[in-house]
């Protein structure tokens, strides 16, 4: 396939997935700038490896699998780079949102960082991106019952963390 045709086909498949990928990247990283970086890296890697995609109807899973691997690899490297700077992250949040909504979203993302990685990802895929449980099971390469457990336990732990934060406020 010609490079021009390859890019055209890629864009046709990517366009309907754009918003879901954007939401996923933003939620996984916890802020807009890192989300944009993750999304850019994902799109570049997906385009470079587009020839390895056998079925075009699995393009969404292809994208999210790449995003997940890049995110996890980046997190492994970040463990050696120092502490997370909350004040800097707060400054990077989209200023166009209402201040009270921004604070609520920031608190939610901050609390999600305390969840185990698989629970966090399952919640993001289910609640923010709207994937159904079967799709999440395929993305996480696990059973349906494991995904149901992760979502339920993640919700429960997140509710406890948020309740504790509100009480301390």
CATH of the domain at 155: 1.10.10.10
Cβ burial 30-53 (10 Å sphere, 16+ → b, else e) = bbbebbeebbebbbeebeeebeeb
Domain termination site, one of 73, 92, 111: 92
If asked whether residues 118 and 153 sit together in one domain, one would say: yes
How far, in Å, CA of 166 to CA of 169, rounded? 5
If asked whether residues 88 and 101 sit together in one domain, one would say: no
If asked whether residues 6 and 74 sit together in one domain, one would say: yes
Closest CA to 11 of 53, 64, 50: 50
The structure tokens listed for 127 are 């609640």
If asked whether residues 66 and 104 sit together in one domain, one would say: no
Instruction: Give the residue with greater pLDDT, 7 vs 77.
Output: 7
The structure tokens listed for 83 are 């502490």
If asked whether residues 106 and 72 sit together in one domain, one would say: no
Closest CA to 64 of 131, 152, 3: 131
- Local confidence band at 98 (pLDDT 50, 70, 90 cut-offs): very low
If asked whether residues 82 and 9 sit together in one domain, one would say: yes
Domain termination site, one of 62, 92, 122: 92
Closest CA to 68 of 39, 98, 108, 100: 39
pLDDT tens digit sequence for 21-33: 999 998 888 888 8
pLDDT tens digit sequence for 136-168: 998 889 999 999 999 999 999 988 888 887 676
If asked whether residues 22 and 77 sit together in one domain, one would say: yes
If asked whether residues 101 and 143 sit together in one domain, one would say: yes
pTM for this entry? 0.65
The structure tokens listed for 115 are 């969840």
The total number of structural domains that make up the chain = 2
If asked whether residues 115 and 153 sit together in one domain, one would say: yes
Domain termination site, one of 69, 92, 115: 92
If asked whether residues 23 and 85 sit together in one domain, one would say: yes
Radius of gyration of the chain (CA): 17
If asked whether residues 86 and 115 sit together in one domain, one would say: no
Instruction: Count the residues in the chain.
Output: 169
Domain boundaries, position 8: 1-92
Closest CA to 24 of 112, 153, 100, 114: 112
If asked whether residues 10 and 86 sit together in one domain, one would say: yes
Q: Are 66 and 49 in contact (CB under 8 A)?
A: yes
Residue 47 three-state SS = helix
């Amino acid at each position: 396939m010609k490079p021009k045709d390859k890019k055209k086909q890629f864009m046709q498949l990517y366009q309907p997935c754009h918003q879901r990928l954007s939401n996923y990247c933003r939620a996984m990283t916890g802020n807009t700038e890192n989300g944009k970086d993750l999304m850019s890296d994902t799109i570049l890697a997906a385009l470079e490896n587009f020839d390895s995609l056998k079925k075009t109807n699995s393009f969404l899973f292809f994208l999210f699998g790449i995003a997940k691997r890049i995110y996890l690899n980046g997190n492994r490297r970040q463990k050696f780079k120092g502490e997370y700077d909350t004040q800097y992250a707060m400054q990077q949040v989209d200023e166009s949102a209402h201040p009270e909504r921004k604070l609520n979203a920031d608190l939610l993302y901050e609390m999600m960082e305390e969840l185990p990685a698989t629970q966090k990802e399952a919640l993001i895929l289910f609640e923010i991106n709207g994937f159904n449980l079967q799709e999440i099971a395929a993305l996480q390469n696990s059973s349906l019952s494991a995904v149901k457990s992760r979502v339920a336990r993640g919700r429960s732990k997140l509710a406890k963390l948020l309740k504790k934060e509100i009480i301390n406020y």
